[in-house]
Amino acid sequence: MIMNDFPYAPGDWSLSEAEQLARRENLELDNDHMELLKSLQEYYSKHDKPQFNMRELHDALDEKFNVKGGMKYLYKLFPGGPVAQGARLAGLTVPAGAIDLSFGSVQ
């Protein structure tokens, strides 16, 4: 993948660093993982972070990935939580509340 595939990536983010971090977290990133990273980067770029509403982000991801199984599918990809673990790998600040167990995060 080339950086053009990540138009909303933070300026200091790199795919190779994300892949290294993922390996340390026992994940091997594939296209499905990349789709969430891109989605998170885009969401962050269009919303007032870190003030955005976690429930809205959670619902937006559930809707976007609904065809594949929604949040259940995303938790299979990111067992540390699609928002918490996904944000870390996408080079984003983990939003307040992302590690709250009510959102299903286990890290």
List the domain range (segments joined by +) for residue 38.
13-92
pLDDT at 4 over 90: no
pLDDT score recorded for residue 3: 47
Residue 39 within a domain: yes
Residue 70 within a domain: yes
Residue 105 within a domain: no
pLDDT at 95 over 90: no
Six token digits for residue 83: 């928002």
Amino acid of residue 56: E
Six token digits for residue 48: 């007032």
With CA atoms as reference, report the closest residue to 100 among 76, 72, 81: 81
Rounded distance, CA 54 to CA 49, Å? 10
Residue 100 within a domain: no
> Rounded to an integer, what is the distance from CA 82 to the centroid of its chain?
5
Do residues 1 and 15 lie in contact, with contact meaning Cβ atoms separated by under 8 Å? yes
In tens, the pLDDT along 28-65 reads: 999 999 999 999 999 999 886 666 678 888 899 999 99
Question: How many structural domains are present in the chain?
Answer: 1
**What helix, strand, coil percent values describe the chain, rounded to 5?**
55, 0, 45
